[in-house]
Structure 1
C-alpha cells in the first residue's frame, strides 16, 4: 500500500477506497493524425481494472507529481481507471507546444484512440482543472457516445481571452503562465522557483514589455508576444476560443469554481449558457483562489468528490444523488447554500452612491466637490490579494493599500442589518483624468468591527478618452457575500492594480512598446448630476 493513500483520504475528505493496490502503465503512445505521438500513463486497479470507466486528463504539466498523486491515484482507487496524457510538445510528447490552439484536434484524436483500446470500458468522464478543464471544452461539442460526463474545475471555454480585453489587459496571469510553461522542464526547476519568481517580478517591470519574456526566460516566447500584442478578438486567437461550442454540449456537466479564481466570469458564463440551452448542469463555487496551497487541496477534494458522486454515477448509467443545481459558499456567513440557478432569483440591484467626505450610502449624493488623487505609473497602485496566482491571492487585509494617497475609499455607516449580496457586481464611476488615457479600478470590501478591510471583489476598465468627464462602467467579479450587522461596506477607487493589470502609461502607446510613463491627476465626481455608485445584487431580509 502506498503510504500517501490514507493521508490523501483524510486531507481530501474522500470515501474509503475499493482498493489501494494499483498498476501504472507508463508512456503509452497515442498517435495523432499528423504522425506525432503523445505519451500517456494509465492508472488502474491491479486486478479488475479493465473495462472500468475511464477518467481522462490531458495536461501540459506532466503526468507525475501532483497529477498522479492528487488526481489519478484517488480515482483509480475508487472505481475508475485513469488516463493522464501529456499534451503536445511537453514531458515526452512529440511536436511543439503551441498553447491553446492544438487541443481540439489532439483531444478528438485522443478520444478516438481511447475508445478503441481493449482495456477501455464503455464509459469515459473528462476531468481536470484550469488548462485540464479547458481541453474538455475544446472537444465538448463532438464527444463520442462513450463520454458520459464532464467535470471542469476553475476553468472556462475561452481560456486566456478574458485577460486580453481591449478595455483592460490583465497582465500578470497570462504572462506568468507563459513563463511557467516555458521553464517547467528545465533541470532543477522545482528548486529554482524563488529565483524564477524574482525574474518574473523584474520582467513585469521591464520597459518595453516586448522584451520582458527574454528577461524572464532567456528567449522570446510566441505565446507571451501574442498576449502583449493581440487583444481578445484578434483573429490569431480564433483557434483558442471554444465559447461557441458550449451550447451544443449534451453530456452532463458539473463545474467547480472559486470566488477568487482567475476564470470565474467565464466559468459562470459557460454555466448560464448550458442552463439557457435547456441542459441540467451543476455548479459549485467555493471561497477559493486559482492555485493557493490551501485552496488547491480544498478545490481538488471537491472536484474528486464530484467526479466520484456525479461522474461515476453517470458513467454507470445511474442518476447521481439529488442536489440543487447551484451550491455556493456565501462568504461573510461562511456557509454553503443551495440555489436553483445562477444568478439566483430574489436579489435586486441596489445602488450604493459615493458621497462627499468618503461616505457610501443608498441615498443619492448631495452637492460635493470631486475627490482627487494623482496616479503615477512609475509607482503604480499595487495589487493586493484578490484574483491572482500570487501567494497573497484571495482575501487579505487592505490597510496598507488604503493608506496610499492614490486610493480613494467610500464607506457606509455601521450596518444595522445584514446585507447579502449574491450575483453580478458592477460600478458606474463619474471620472475625469488630466490625460486622455487612464484606468479606473473599483474594489468592494467588507470592513469588520475591528476596522479591518477585506476585499470581496473588484474590476478595472481602461479608457481612451479619460480627459472627458464621463460615467465609466466597471464590471467587478461576481460574488456571494453577506455583510454582517455591525460591519460596514467599503468601495475603493483607484487607477490600477499592478501587476495583476498592466499599468497604464498614460501615453496611449501599445503595452508591448510603451516606454514613457506619464503621471496624471484624476477626479472622481459624486454630486446630483454625477452620481457615482456601485451596484450590488441585494436580498432584502425584511420582506
Structure 2
C-alpha cells in the first residue's frame, strides 16, 4: 500500500469554490473563537486512496491553502462525489461545504465506496464489512499524509452519518471523534422495515436519485463544479431556494421514475420480496449490539423532520455507547428539510476544535442533551442531563369516546369505556369517490390544555385493538393545535398488528423495538394489545392549545409535506380492507414524559 498525493491542478483551482452558511448552524449558543480562520481552500480532485487488495477509492480532497499539517474530516458514502461541493440541491449533497472546513484549518476528504464512480472494485450490499474495512483504511491513510497532523474526525448527514458509529466500533487509532446528523444503529428496523413494513417508497426514491447508470458514470470537471457553486450560492439563493422547497414533493416523484442500475434493482427485490425477517434480510445488522466498543467523543443530531427514517438510532447510540458520559452530546433539532444540507457545520467545527485542539471554546460546558421543543422560539434550546429529561415523570392519558366514530374523541385521567372504529383501505386501492363519508378513515383524540406544560421524552401509544381481518396496519400521529387552529405535526409511529411482540433486548428508553421475525395473524374481532413508540418530539403546549392524536392505517392520510420541513415516506399499507376498532379501557392510552 502506497501513500501518494497528486499535486493540485491549476485548472481545478482557477475558480475557487464558494459556500454559503444559510441554515441552522448551532444549537442555541455562540462558540468561542475558532483555532484557525480564513485559510482558504485548495482542491485536489479525483485522488485515489489505496485500501486493500490492490483496490483504490476515488476522493475529492480539499486542503487549506495555507501550507501546514491539519486534522482531516472524512466523509464516506455510497454516492458519487462529483457534485457534492457544487451546492446543487441534490439528495446526496450532505457532506458540508469544503471551504467552510478548510477555512477553519481542516482537510475535507469526500470518498466514494467501492464500485461507485471512479472508485475501483464492486460492492452492492451497503454497510458491509468490506465497506467498514475500507473506511478504516481511508482514516489511517489520511492520518499518514504530510498535510494531516495525524488526527481524523468524521462528519456528514444521513448515509455519511450512518457509517460513523459503524466504523467507530472498530476503534481506528487515528479517529478522534465524529459528528453525525441523522443516523441509524439497527439497519433492519430503522431503515429496511420501519414499523413492520418494507420501506419501498424511500428505497425507490433513494435508488432512483443515486444509483442509476448515469449517476455511477457521472464526471463533472472541478472547474465546472466551482462555477456552479458561485451560481447557486450567490445572494440570489434566497429567491430560488424557497421555490425549490415548494417543489420538493414533485422533485422526489421525478427521482422515483428513474431506473436504477440492474444490480440495485436486484437488491431492492431481495429486500422487499425475501427479506421478511432478520435472518432472511441481506442488510447488515448495524452496530446496535456493539455500541459499547465506541470510546471516542461524538455529537449526534436528531433532526426531527424525518418521521420514518433516521429515527431512534441517535437515542440508542447516546444510551449505549462506551464513550464517557461527559464526552457524548445529543442535539434534538426542529424540522428543517432543505437541500443541500449545510446545517451544523459551525457546531461541528467548534466540537472538533474542542476535542482535537483542546480549545476552550465553550463546548465542554454544553449540556449533554440540548433540544428544541415545538412551540419554543426558533433559536431557543433547553439543556438537560439526559433524554428523557430526568426532572420529569411519565403521565398517562386514557383514550375516551365522545360517541360516533366521526366525533373528536378525548383524553381522560381515568380509563374510558366502549369502542370506536375506523376503516382501513389499502394504499392505492380503487374505491368509489366519497367512500370516506361512508367509512371514516381516521379516529381523532383531542384535549385542550388548561395550563402551560412541556413534554420531553418517550412517546408511547397502547391500544386494545381488534380487526375484521387477519392483519392490518396502525399509524399514529401526535400534533399540537395552536390557538389559531393550525396543526403542527410532532411525532409519528406505526405498527403491524400481526408483528406486535416486543423485542426487549433491542429496546431503549425511548423506543419499543418490535420483533418482526414471526407474524401472528389476528383472529377477526378478537382484541389484542398493541404497544408501540412514536418519534419523541418535545413540545411546549401553552394554555388554550390542543394536543391531538390521530389514528389511521395509511401514512398519506397523516402526511406532512416536505415543503413544511418534514421528510416523510409513504408506506404501502394496510394489506387488507378491514374495519379496525379501539376498545377503551386500561390498555388504550397515550403515555408522555412531562417535565416537572
Q: With structure 1 as the length reference, what TM-score do the two structures score? A: 0.80
Aligned with 1:178 (options 204, 207, 220): 207
Structure 1 residue 149 displacement after superposition = 1.4
Residue 372 of structure 2 is aligned to residue 329 of structure 1: yes
| Cross-structure match for 2:196 | 167
| Cross-structure match for 1:71 | 97
Matches within 5 A, 1:231-310: 231=276, 233-234=278-279, 236-237=281-282, 239-261=284-306, 262-274=309-321, 278=325, 280-289=327-336, 292-293=337-338, 297=341, 300-302=342-344, 304-310=345-351
| Cross-structure match for 1:512 | none
Structure 1 residue 240 displacement after superposition = 4.8
Residues 275, 353 of structure 1: alpha-carbon distance in 2 compared, 3 angstrom cutoff = farther
Structure 1 residue 432 displacement after superposition = 0.9
Give a deviation string over 1:145-202, Cα, whole Å, max 9, x none: 33221111111333464131573434322342233222261789999x9998446667
Distance 1:403 1:43 in 2: 61
Equivalent pairs counted in the alignment come to: 485
| Cross-structure match for 2:510 | none
| Cross-structure match for 1:230 | 275
Give a deviation string over 1:80-117, Cα, whole Å, max 9, x none: 12211112111211122422224211111212322222
5+ residue gaps in structure 1?
203-214, 382-400, 507-518
| Cross-structure match for 2:480 | 446
Residues 275, 245 of structure 1: alpha-carbon distance in 2 compared, 3 angstrom cutoff = closer
Alignment partner of 2:57: what SS?
strand
Residues 318, 231 of structure 1: alpha-carbon distance in 2 compared, 3 angstrom cutoff = farther
Residues 275, 31 of structure 1: alpha-carbon distance in 2 compared, 3 angstrom cutoff = closer
Distance 1:361 1:160 in 2: 34
| Cross-structure match for 1:484 | 542
Residue 155 of structure 2 is aligned to residue 106 of structure 1: no
Distance 2:413 2:198 in 1: 34
Residues 224, 147 of structure 1: alpha-carbon distance in 2 compared, 3 angstrom cutoff = same
Give a deviation string over 1:486-519, Cα, whole Å, max 9, x none: 111111111221562231323xxxxxxxxxxxx1
Aligned with 2:527 (options 451, 469, 488): 469
| Cross-structure match for 2:516 | none
Distance 2:352 2:261 in 1: 43
Structure 1 residue 78 displacement after superposition = 1.0
Alignment partner of 2:451: what SS?
coil
CA contact (8 A) 2:142 2:150 kept: no
Structure 1 residue 59 displacement after superposition = 2.5
Matches within 5 A, 1:371-520: 371-377=420-426, 379=428, 405-412=440-447, 414-464=448-498, 465-466=521-522, 467=524, 468-498=526-556, 500-506=570-576, 519-520=577-578
Alignment partner of 2:70: what SS?
coil
CA contact (8 A) 1:460 1:496 kept: no
CA contact (8 A) 1:53 1:122 kept: yes
Greater relative contact order (Cα < 8 A, sep 6+)? 2
Q: With structure 2 as the length reference, what TM-score do the two structures score? A: 0.74
CA contact (8 A) 1:199 1:216 kept: no
Residue 588 of structure 2 is aligned to residue 532 of structure 1: yes
Residue 64 of structure 2 is aligned to residue 41 of structure 1: no
Distance 1:277 1:402 in 2: 56
Structure 1 residue 235 displacement after superposition = 5.7
Structure 1 residue 11 displacement after superposition = 5.5
Alignment partner of 1:504: what SS?
coil
Matches within 5 A, 1:80-119: 80-98=106-124, 99-101=126-128, 102-119=130-147
Give a deviation string over 1:194-231, Cα, whole Å, max 9, x none: 998446667xxxxxxxxxxxx85474623312331314
Structure 1 residue 236 displacement after superposition = 4.7
Structure 1 residue 67 displacement after superposition = 4.1
CA contact (8 A) 1:166 1:231 kept: no
CA contact (8 A) 1:154 1:264 kept: yes
Distance 2:138 2:485 in 1: 54
5+ residue gaps in structure 2?
1-13, 27-32, 88-95, 221-243, 403-407, 431-435, 499-520, 557-568
Structure 1 residue 420 displacement after superposition = 1.2
Residues 258, 46 of structure 1: alpha-carbon distance in 2 compared, 3 angstrom cutoff = same
Give a deviation string over 1:372-395, Cα, whole Å, max 9, x none: 2221215469xxxxxxxxxxxxxx
Alignment partner of 1:233: what SS?
coil
Structure 1 residue 356 displacement after superposition = 1.2
| Cross-structure match for 2:41 | 22
| Cross-structure match for 1:364 | 414
Distance 2:316 2:49 in 1: 33
| Cross-structure match for 2:182 | 154
Distance 1:201 1:26 in 2: 30
| Cross-structure match for 1:349 | 394
Alignment partner of 1:479: what SS?
coil
CA contact (8 A) 1:150 1:254 kept: yes
Distance 1:118 1:310 in 2: 24
| Cross-structure match for 1:207 | none
Distance 1:74 1:106 in 2: 26
